[in-house]
Amino acid sequence: MPAPPSSPLQHCSDFESRECNLKPSLSSSVSSSTVQNRDLVNPASMKQALIASARRLPGVNMFEQGHGKLDLIRAYQILNSYKPQASLSPSYIDLTESPYMWPYCSQPIYYGGMPTIVNVTILNGMGVTGRILDKPIWQPYLPQNGDHIDVAGHVMITVASPAENNSEAGGEMTSTVKLPIKVKIVPTPPRSKRVLWDQYHNLRYPPGYFPRDNLRMKNDPLDWNGDHIHTNFRDMYQHLRSMGYFVEVLGAPITCFDASQYGTLMMVDSEEEYFPEEITKLRRDIDNGLSLIVFSDWYNTSVMRKVKFYDENTRQWWMPDTGGANVPALNDLISVWGMAFSDGLYEGDFTLADHDMYYASGCSIARFPEDGIVIAKNLKDQGLEVLKQETAVVEGVPILGLYQTPSDGGGRIALYGDSNCLDDSHRQKDCFWLLDALLQYTSYSMTPPSLSHSHSRVPPPTGTDKPLPQRLEGNHLYRYSKVLEAHLGDPKPRPLPACPHLSWAKPQPLNETAPSNLWKHQKLLSVDLDKVALPNVRAYRPQVRPLSPGESGAWDIPGGIMPGRYNQEVGQTIPVFAFLGAMVVLSFFVVQLTKAKSKPKRRKPRIKRPTYLQQQTTTTTSGKNPTV
């Protein structure tokens, strides 16, 4: 659904952040020029002009460049011919345009997939308030078979605002905008090729203090990257796409997806808790053929207390609400299969299946079914190093586990204790090959021989000799959690939220051909920017003519400089300042040279005659010759 109409005071949420920071100076530059109909210029119309006149940068996606590089001259011309109306940002949706529409262009859509969500902002330049008349209308194009499989069409909405500048009419100003849509549709992939990424159980800073996954990276103490396949897991996502997998994002609880459509559910670096209904449904889904891959991270309450810090802004001590991952919550999720992670904290280099690996602040497997496959390696005890600054090597740390559920047609489970090898933030050595091997195991039930026959295979741990990690007492995770809520000092699960419900729009087909280039097709106010007459900069340059007899030495500038021509004023002022600066420097050297010439020369000191004669007399009397 489109976003509500924006007022003229709307923030630049979808513009490039660097250009948003410059917006006050840009606004003053545009508004100070001689724009006709100044009463029509407001923050919303100015933003419309800046967006419509921006020049797109090649090879950069929309989330990195926004609408492109600003062009103030073109924006000035648009404001001169501006008519109040509503516009959209972005003005079109083309999921086939690469690379500008990345990540939308990286994967086609298909029946049964998770909905693709695109944020479209309505800019209302007609007034401070506005409203959307009726529901959005979906109009597919018949020549592109849009009435059958929804390949191409546009969404049309009408925005109305009070006619403030036309009191005689006493009605409303309306503006109809169209959002062209173009997508690529493919047949639904097989279940084994569909991977579901659990985003709902990932939390990030702000607002809570969620510490970094790699404790070695002290310059970046917070886990603020979002843990999303389009941000710090982008390389992993592109690798899976290159391997033929279709990756979808789950932004709702586990109870809100059809597990029969997916081969593998991935949980990577999860910090959120789980609803009891989610735990029950996941067990039922895995018994019916869904597979699970979990990449965990460190969790140790003593280390969490060690990495607290004092925040100067809030003047409070910040204690982590969880570790690199919420291991106690993960243990609740996988405990039904006799699995659990420990609170050990390990780090080190090792070799697995002829691949160099690095374990960066990960945990170990504390419990695993006896008929599963467990891989162990020798690693450093990083927890001991953080707490006591001591170094120790622990032999046989279980880090990887593979398990086939016993039910007929049941799925498979794979556990790994570290997610930094998939994370772009501080990754030193990637483990994409390991992810490929795990997906081959979970999707096709093919156990990698390099793991099943590895010399590092050990008996699965029972975990009876050491208690499992517990939640940090007094943590404030409930403040930022979508699952927990405060309840007399003891957080309890919230009621399970309802799953998103899709409301399908009734199409109104059009017998029109879709534009070949949606970007070029969209013009603000129906103004063709290619035909807008740009100002003749040379015509406004100051002209200097030769002096006539009797005239003063001042420059004669016909007509003066146009108001608002800041660049030309600067161009005239720079030579004047350069000349004055040169004169000051020259005067300084002249003064120094004059002082040097007028200063009297220093005379050599005279030798006192009596003293010299006395020395000669003394030397002659003693009978000694003077030495040289």
Judged against a pLDDT cut of 70, whether residue 125 lies above it is answered with yes
More confident residue, 10 or 587: 587
- Can you list the positions of beta strands (E) in 286-445? 291-295, 309-311, 316-318, 340-341, 346-352, 355-362, 365-367, 373-381, 393-404, 412-416
> Which pLDDT band holds residue 522 (cuts at 50, 70, 90)?
low
The pLDDT of residue 507 is: 78
Mean pLDDT throughout 506-531? 65
pLDDT at 279 over 90: yes
Residue 215 pLDDT exceeds 80? no
pLDDT winner (highest mean) among 14-28, 292-306, 311-325, 479-493? 292-306
Query: What's the mean pLDDT in 427-434?
Result: 89
Rounded to 5 degrees, what are φ and ψ at 369?
A: -60, 145
pLDDT greater than 60 at residue 616: no
Query: Which is higher by pLDDT, 249 or 514?
Result: 249
Res. 290 pLDDT band, cuts 50 70 90:
very high
Burial label for 181, CB within 10 Å (0-12, 13-18, 19+), is: buried
pLDDT, position 555: 36
Contacts of residue 85, Cβ cutoff 8 Å, sequence gap at least 6: 125, 126, 175, 177, 525
pLDDT value, residue 432: 92
Instruction: Tell me the chain's radius of gyration from C-alpha atoms.
Output: 37
Which residues touch 320 (CB under 8 Å, ≥6 apart)? 209, 210, 211, 304, 307, 308, 472, 475
Residue 485's pLDDT is 86
Instruction: Name residues whose C-beta falls within 8 Å of residue 545's C-beta, 6 or more positions apart in sequence.
Output: 556
Does residue 27 have a pLDDT over 60?
no
* Position 13 pLDDT exceeds 80: no
More confident residue, 467 or 593: 467
Q: Over 50: is that where the pLDDT of 561 sits?
A: no
Residue 537 in this model has a pLDDT that exceeds 50 = no
Q: How confident is the model at residue 292 (pLDDT cuts 50, 70, 90)?
A: very high
What 484-488 contacts at long range (C-beta under 8 Å, 24+ apart), as own/partner pairs, is: 484/273
What would the mean pLDDT of 507-517 be, rounded to a whole number? 74
Contacts of 616 (CB under 8 A, 6+ apart): none
Of 24, 76, 86, the C-alpha closest to 49 is 76
pLDDT of residue 226: 67
Classify residue 76 as left (phi > 0), alpha (psi -120 to 50) or beta. alpha
- Eight-state DSSP code of residue 211: B
Q: Taking residues 354-379, what's their average pLDDT?
A: 92
pLDDT exceeding 90 applies to what percent of the chain? 27
Q: Kindly give the residue spans of alpha helices, DSSP state H, lying in 307-381.
A: 327-334
For residue 458, the cross-strand partners are 374
pLDDT of residue 624: 44
| Residue whose C-alpha is closest to residue 303's, from 475, 472, 478 | 472
Cα–Cα dist 512/497, whole Å: 42
Residue with the bigger pLDDT between 407 and 221: it is: 407
For 132-183, the pLDDT digits (tens) are 888 888 888 877 666 665 566 677 777 777 776 555 555 788 888 888 888 8
Q: How far apart are CA 576 and CA 572, in angstroms?
A: 7
More confident residue, 460 or 80: 460
The tokens for 612 are 């010299």
Can you tell me the mean pLDDT for 454-472?
Answer: 87
Phi, psi at residue 10, to the nearest 5°?
Answer: -65, 140
For the segment 212-217, the average pLDDT, to the nearest whole number, is 59
In this prediction, what percent of the chain has a pLDDT beyond 70?
A: 72
Q: State the average pLDDT for the chain.
A: 78
**Choice among 41-50, 97-106, 504-513 with the minimum mean pLDDT:** 504-513
**Confidence at 91, pLDDT banded by 50, 70, 90:** confident
Confidence of residue 263 (pLDDT cuts 50, 70, 90): very high
Residue with more model confidence, 526 or 40? 40
Tell me whether strands 121-124 and 152-162 are parallel, antiparallel or unpaired.
unpaired
pLDDT of residue 278: 95
Which residue type occupies 111? Answer: Y
Residue 84: exposure state from Cβ atoms within 10 A (0-12, 13-18, ≥19)? buried
Least confident of 228-242, 316-330, 389-403, 605-619: 605-619
Token pair, residue 132, equals 């959307």
pLDDT of residue 619: 46
**Distances from the Cα of 213 to the Cα of 227, 297, 435, 473, 485, angstroms:** 11, 7, 19, 21, 25
pTM of the model: 0.73
**Residue 515 to residues 100, 141, 148, 568, Cα–Cα distance (Å):** 18, 10, 19, 41
Give CA separation, 310 vs 315, 318, 477, 529, in Å: 7, 6, 18, 54
Q: Is residue 417 scored above 70 in pLDDT?
A: yes
How far, CA to CA in Å, does 316 sit from each of 78, 207, 311? 50, 14, 6
Q: What tokens does 29 get?
A: 């530059």
Q: Which of 190, 425, 392, 399 is nearest to 297 (CA)?
A: 399
